[in-house]
A = this chain, B = another copy of it.
């Protein structure tokens, strides 16, 4: 895969200090690495990617403004499938990791790993094409063994349902929500009941908590 002596890298992370630190660190643990460029987020990455000189490995954060890690990886697989992504995030949530693996990333590191592990990951991805730790495979296996128990099931919602959920996370009454959505209050009644059943909640408060926990609404 790698025809140069160096491993061409690029970094996508919105925290400059972390990025710069990571760069000096990488130069220490693996001098063969060459950092082509850095980007603040997915949007920034799109403008900085030069098809004539693509990075071999992309170190990517997940939480970023404007265009996050998920969207960026999705965009990359469609536009530059040859680029291998190594996620470096502080998120340790199982479904986040699993979702990233489904999107085809070549490795997933938490930001609290030892520096030498970063070096190993880079070397492994450059030579073998991937780097999966026991931590990551452990999460993966656990997900396979417990597919959807404990309400961790990933529900999909129609546009109307999403709109309703967002409006339910407000101080509007159902009548006012119906008004905003240009639907009869009785229809809203229906949405509520079906969502209560689907999400196994018993009250509007339960629905709001579900939405918050699953990032269906922006809290801040």
The reply to whether A14 and B112 form a contact with Cβ atoms under 8 Å apart is yes
| A81 adjacent to chain B (CB < 8 Å) | no
| A180 adjacent to chain B (CB < 8 Å) | no
Q: Which of A47-55, A157-165, A167-175 contacts B (4 or more CB under 8 A)?
A: A167-175
The reply to whether B20 and A205 form a contact with Cβ atoms under 8 Å apart is no
Instruction: Pick the contact of A205: B40, B114, B205 (CB < 8 A).
Output: B205
The reply to whether B15 and A112 form a contact with Cβ atoms under 8 Å apart is yes
The reply to whether B212 and A219 form a contact with Cβ atoms under 8 Å apart is yes
Asked, given contacts A14-B112, A90-B15, A111-B15, whether A209 binds B169 with beta carbons under 8 Å apart, the answer is yes
Asked, given contacts A212-B212, A213-B219, whether A17 binds B88 with beta carbons under 8 Å apart, the answer is yes
Identical subunits present: 2
Asked, given contacts A21-B21, A25-B21, whether A111 binds B16 with beta carbons under 8 Å apart, the answer is yes
Instruction: Pick the contact of A168: B17, B40, B202, B205 (CB < 8 A).
Output: B205
| A148 adjacent to chain B (CB < 8 Å) | no
Residues of B within 8 A of A170 (CB): 205-206, 209
Residues of B within 8 A of A14 (CB): 112
Shortest Cβ distance from A203 into B: residue: B171
| A201 adjacent to chain B (CB < 8 Å) | yes
How far apart are A27's CB and chain B's nearest CB, in angstroms?
A: 9
How far apart are A109's CB and chain B's nearest CB, in angstroms?
A: 7
**Bound CA span A214–B193, Å:** 29
26 A-B pairs within 8 Å (CB atoms) are namely A14-B112, A15-B111, A15-B112, A16-B112, A16-B113, A16-B114, A17-B22, A17-B113, A18-B111, A20-B21, A20-B25, A20-B114, A21-B23, A21-B24, A21-B25, A24-B25, A40-B112, A170-B206, A171-B205, A171-B206, A205-B208, A208-B208, A208-B209, A209-B219, A212-B212, A219-B219
Q: In the A-B complex, list the 5 residue pairs whose CB atoms are closest, starting with the nearest.
A: A21-B21, A15-B111, A24-B24, A171-B206, A16-B112
